Amino acid sequence: MTHEHLISALYVFALAAFLGYQVISRVPPLLHTPLMSATNAISGISLVGSIVTAGARYNTVSTILGFIAVVCSTTNVVGGFVITDRMLKMFKRKEIGPKKD
């Protein structure tokens, strides 16, 4: 990796860190569990690395490792988003309206 690449990657890392801190600290404890499953699903983006490894036919070892990585990452992405959606659907606020006697 060249020095230019490293520096620009570090810029991105630093900005992501600050941004991440700001965004995440606004998530209420109520939603901490969906937060964990959502961030898990998002970090499944490593799928894009394993897809190339599994398909580029570099060598047998890499292909097999890449394939396993694709399975693992896809499980996280699909499972993570499905679970997060499922959890978020459950959060309902109290129905306001004619109720009490």
Q: What residues between 4 and 23 interact with other proteins by CB under 8 A?
A: 5-6, 9, 12-13, 16-17, 19-21, 23
CA angle 84, 86, 89 (to 5 degrees): 105
> Distance between CA atoms of 32 and 78, rounded to whole angstroms?
19
Give DSSP secondary structure letters for 34-86.
HHHHHHHHHHGGGHHHHHHHHHS---HHHHHHHHHHHHHHHHHHHHHHHHHHH
**Does 97 interact with other proteins (rule: CB under 8 A)?**
no
**Does 94 interact with other proteins (rule: CB under 8 A)?**
yes
**Does 98 interact with other proteins (rule: CB under 8 A)?**
no
CB of 10 to other proteins, least distance (A): 9
Q: Which of residues 25-84 bind other proteins (CB under 8 A)?
A: 25-59, 61-63, 65-84
CB of 65 to other proteins, least distance (A): 4
